[in-house]
Amino acid sequence: MTLLDGKKTSETIQQEIAADVAEIKANGGKVPHLAAILVGNDGGSVTYVTNKVLACERVGFGSTLIRYEDDVTEDELLAKIEELNNDDEIDGFIVQLPLPKHINTDKVLEAVDPKKDVDGFHPTNVGRMVAGLSAYLPATPAGILQLLARYEIETKGKHCVVVGRSNIVGSPMSILMSKPNYPGNCTVTLCHRNTVNLAYHTLQADIIIAAVGIPGLITAEMVKEGAVVIDVGTTRVADETRKAGYRLRGDVDFDNVAPKCSFITPVPGGVGPLTIAMLLKNTLRAAKREVYA
Ligand SMILES: Nc1nc2c(c(=O)[nH]1)N[C@@H](CN(C=O)c1ccc(C(=O)N[C@@H](CCC(=O)O)C(=O)O)cc1)CN2
């Protein structure tokens, strides 16, 4: 069994990006600049956005963090998005999810200029991805593709079972794994929390991508010998023995599943760190005007 080291892969990608930025700077080009909108004080969201800003500093990007209290109005958010759309200094920006319930997330995401949508959540980028056109790919699925490619995992003709149908991970992942590219070219089954007899499907999988947010859902009995298992779940569960008061649990029962796998991602240190690396990569592409050339 080989552990897929997302932390190390993320560092490698960030080093590659930093080298690119150094070259841009040496040639007097525009330094990539990412802006992030964070609403509220949710612990996870604050951590992720802070890490995104720190990662920008590490690779030499400019960054702007825009924070609002939980009670920000939808109109205020939309006005800020319009401002960022028209700000030439900002190459790309994100709105950290989830947003409070009184905000219409779809409306907010649709307000982002697709050319600056480095999260790849705008319907234009989603549609372009489905059509196989140049697009910003959502960071977590793009990170998983990087892991598969950098560990040279064979995917052509394999059966990939994606568990979870979110717009951020499961749904785009299922589409990307079916495309006739490497990594991809799989036969894909998309399962979710209402799938009847989930084990029937996962047992047929050469590659399982679990992104449903149910800790420990995928047990050893549900996994075929030699399967590749990618765990996207990062649920915080209470743990008083930890300083933070919680620990992260993936969707996969790692200890019992790992011995059956050819490759598996840990939680933490698997897919999560790649999300940030691929956001930086998208921002670099935005600054280079690569996607909508
Ligand atoms: N606008 C967006 N919102 C959200 C996205 C996104 O891609 N864009 N994805 C998730 C959260 N997320 C990034 O925003 C994210 C999740 C997890 C990690 C990560 O590095 N996880 C670490 C553990 C970190 C910890 O201790 O909590 C790991 O798995 O090793 C990075 C980014 C939802 N919202």
Is there a domain that residue 54 lies in?
yes
Annotated catalytic residue, options 5, 14, 80, 96: 96
Asked if residue 143 and residue 57 are part of one domain, the reply reads no
Binding residue positions for NADP(+): 164-166, 234
Task: Please name which of 129, 123, 151 lies closest in space to residue 141, comparing C-alpha atoms.
Answer: 129
Identify which of 9, 13, 48 to mutate to test ligand 1's pocket (most ligand atoms within 8 A of the CB). 48
Kindly state the tokens that stand for 40: 């509220």
Residue 115 sits at the vertex; the CA angle it makes with 114 and 121, to the nearest 5 degrees, is 35
How confident is residue 75, by pLDDT bands cut at 50, 70 and 90? Answer: very high
Instruction: Give mean pLDDT, residues 162-174.
Output: 98
5 catalytically annotated: no
How confident is residue 42, by pLDDT bands cut at 50, 70 and 90? Answer: very high
HEC letters along 184-212:
CCCEEEEECCCCCCHHHHHCCCCEEEECC
Report CA(275)–ligand 1 centroid distance (Å).
6
Asked if residue 159 and residue 252 are part of one domain, the reply reads yes
281 catalytically annotated: no
Asked if residue 225 and residue 174 are part of one domain, the reply reads yes
The predicted model scores a pTM of 0.98
Instruction: Give mean pLDDT, residues 189-214.
Output: 98
CATH, residue 217: 3.40.50.720
CA distance 167 to 281: 20
Instruction: Give mean pLDDT, residues 74-86.
Output: 98
Asked if residue 267 and residue 143 are part of one domain, the reply reads yes
Mind listing the pLDDT tens digit for each residue in 102-131?
999 999 999 999 999 999 999 999 999 999
For residue 6, the surrounding DSSP H or E stretch is helix 6-26
Is residue 275 within 6 Å of ligand 1 at its C-beta?
yes
Is residue 282 within 6 Å of ligand 1 at its C-beta?
no
- How many distinct structural domains can be found in the chain? 2
* Structural domain boundaries enclosing 41: 27-121
Annotated catalytic residue, options 5, 14, 52, 281: 52
Is residue 49 within 6 Å of ligand 1 at its C-beta?
no
Instruction: Give mean pLDDT, residues 37-61.
Output: 97
Mind listing the pLDDT tens digit for each residue in 18-40?
999 999 999 999 999 999 999 99
Asked if residue 250 and residue 212 are part of one domain, the reply reads yes
Asked if residue 84 and residue 47 are part of one domain, the reply reads yes
Strand partners, 63: 34
Asked if residue 108 and residue 77 are part of one domain, the reply reads yes
Is there a domain that residue 184 lies in?
yes
Which DSSP letter does residue 117 get?
Answer: B
How confident is residue 143, by pLDDT bands cut at 50, 70 and 90? Answer: very high
In this predicted structure, what is the pLDDT of residue 288? 96
Is there a domain that residue 177 lies in?
yes
ipTM of the complex: 0.97
Mean of the per-residue pLDDT values for the chain?
Answer: 98
Instruction: Give mean pLDDT, residues 60-77.
Output: 98
> Angle at which helices 6-26 and 272-287 pack, to 10 degrees?
20
CATH, residue 68: 3.40.50.10860
